[in-house]
Amino acid sequence: MVNNSNKGGKILDTIGALQSSLTKTEKRIAEQILTTPQLLAQSSLSEIAKSLNVGEATFIRFCRTLGFKGFSDFKLDFAIELATQSQQPSALLDTNITAKDSPKSIATKLQNVIDRVVSETINLLDFNELNKVVKELRNAKRIYLFGVGSSGIVADGAKNKLMRVGFQVDSETNNHFMYMQASLMKKGDVVIGISHSGASPETTKALEIAKQAGAVTVAITHNLRSPITKVSDYVLNNGNRQGQLQGDSVGTQITQLFVLDLIYALLVQAEQEKAKQSKQKTVAVIEQQQNK
């Protein structure tokens, strides 16, 4: 069952994040809600069950999977969400660039994608969980970031930012190196695994090895209940429910960077003077080398 904190303006985003781990029947329900949300909001339980060709009890169980007590609670919050959400173009059309589009038109479509996925990420994030992760990172002896493909690029970027403010941090994007690093971890180490699908076998395995070695494990992923969440002490969910269609999309990378930048900002906020001094030192040494 999903935590009740996902209710209230977050139902569609939560359904998207759960979609890959649902049963066949649940996926059919989820697809119907995502494609025709207004129709469901205006229908009774019996009408919804009939249109989906499922039993009323099946749909009630689906509501409980989302963290609701039953259909009535779900329908009330869903109606509020649909009434208050901003009217945005279809997410699938945001990236549908045509031959007639001008550069400005394409830029606007990309802006729509970025605005949507950042809002979705804020909806999905458990901020209590985020605060716990920040606390673990502040107390960590060493921090590691693991990711492959485009997630590896994001991991390298986060390493650069955290190093500049004084953290002992490294990143790995090769699975063999990830496994070796993970096996050498100890209590007091924290490893962050980045995988939009949550199904990356390399990153998931590396987190599993690190957890067995005594490290604290954190997953940044879109899909709730995905394999990487099973080996993680903490899970931070990023948005972009269309991201699995194109894993290297700008939306996917933006949401991962957003979560990591949020972590960075909270770390700096907690220890501003230390972060300032460390950044001054790292910037100064680079400038000295460039001026030689």
| Number of separate domains in the chain | 2
Can you state the angle between helices 127-139 and 250-270, rounded to 10 degrees?
A: 60
pLDDT score of 97: 73
pLDDT of 247 > 60? The answer is no
Q: Looking at the structure, do residues 272 and 153 belong to the same domain, yes or no?
A: yes
Q: Looking at the structure, do residues 177 and 33 belong to the same domain, yes or no?
A: no
What is the Cα–Cα distance from 259 to 254, expressed in whole angstroms? 9
In a domain, 110, yes or no: no
Q: Which residues contact 222 (CB under 8 A, 6 or more apart)?
A: 17, 124, 196, 197, 198, 237, 238, 239, 240, 241, 243, 244, 252, 255
Q: Residue 26: phi, psi to the nearest 5?
A: -65, -35
The two structure tokens encoding residue 40: 């469901």
> Do the beta carbons of residue 161 and residue 145 sit within 8 Å?
no
The two structure tokens encoding residue 222: 């879109």
What is the Cα–Cα distance from 26 to 41, expressed in whole angstroms? 17
The percentage of the chain sitting over the pLDDT mark of 90, rounded to a whole number, equals 61
Mean pLDDT, range 253-269, rounded to an integer: 96
In a domain, 69, yes or no: yes
pLDDT score of 81: 86
pLDDT in tens, 50-62: 988 999 999 999 9
Q: Which residue has the higher pLDDT, 248 or 287?
A: 287
In a domain, 241, yes or no: yes
**Total-model pTM:** 0.83
- The CA-atom distances, in angstroms, between 254 and each of 53, 65, 126, 248, 265 are 38, 28, 18, 10, 16
Q: Residue 291: phi, psi to the nearest 5?
A: -85, -5
In a domain, 56, yes or no: yes
Q: Looking at the structure, do residues 269 and 146 belong to the same domain, yes or no?
A: yes
Q: Out of 86-95, 121-130, 233-242, pick the least confident.
A: 86-95
Q: Out of 78-87, 90-99, 191-200, pick the least confident.
A: 90-99
What is the Cα–Cα distance from 38 to 42, expressed in whole angstroms? 6
pLDDT confidence band for 243 (50 / 70 / 90): very low
In a domain, 149, yes or no: yes
Last residue in a domain, options 54, 84, 114? 84
What is the Cα–Cα distance from 47 to 72, expressed in whole angstroms? 14
Q: CATH number of the domain that 276 lies in? A: 3.40.50.10490
Q: Which domain holds residue 260?
A: 125-287
Q: Out of 191-195, 226-230, 243-247, 275-279, pick the least confident.
A: 243-247
Q: Which residue has the higher pLDDT, 283 or 158?
A: 158
Q: Looking at the structure, do residues 282 and 139 belong to the same domain, yes or no?
A: yes
pLDDT confidence band for 133 (50 / 70 / 90): very high
Q: Looking at the structure, do residues 144 and 281 belong to the same domain, yes or no?
A: yes
Q: Out of 94-98, 107-111, 166-170, pick the least confident.
A: 94-98
pLDDT score of 258: 96
pLDDT score of 151: 94
pLDDT of 94 > 70? The answer is no
Last residue in a domain, options 84, 105, 140? 84
Is the CA virtual torsion 101, 104, 106, 109 positive or negative?
A: negative
In a domain, 191, yes or no: yes
Q: Which residues contact 192 (CB under 8 A, 6 or more apart)?
A: 143, 144, 145, 146, 155, 158, 218, 219, 220, 260
In a domain, 118, yes or no: no
Q: Looking at the structure, do residues 168 and 257 belong to the same domain, yes or no?
A: yes
Is the CA virtual torsion 191, 216, 195, 126 positive or negative?
A: negative
pLDDT score of 2: 53
pLDDT in tens, 4-38: 444 445 899 999 899 888 999 999 999 888 888 88
Is the CA virtual torsion 62, 63, 68, 72 positive or negative?
A: negative
In a domain, 51, yes or no: yes
pLDDT score of 261: 97
Q: Out of 25-39, 84-98, 130-144, 248-262, pick the least confident.
A: 84-98
> Do the beta carbons of residue 47 and residue 54 sit within 8 Å?
no
What is the Cα–Cα distance from 95 to 106, expressed in whole angstroms? 8
Task: Please name the helix (run of DSSP H) or strand (run of DSSP E) that holds residue 242, with its range, or none.
Answer: none
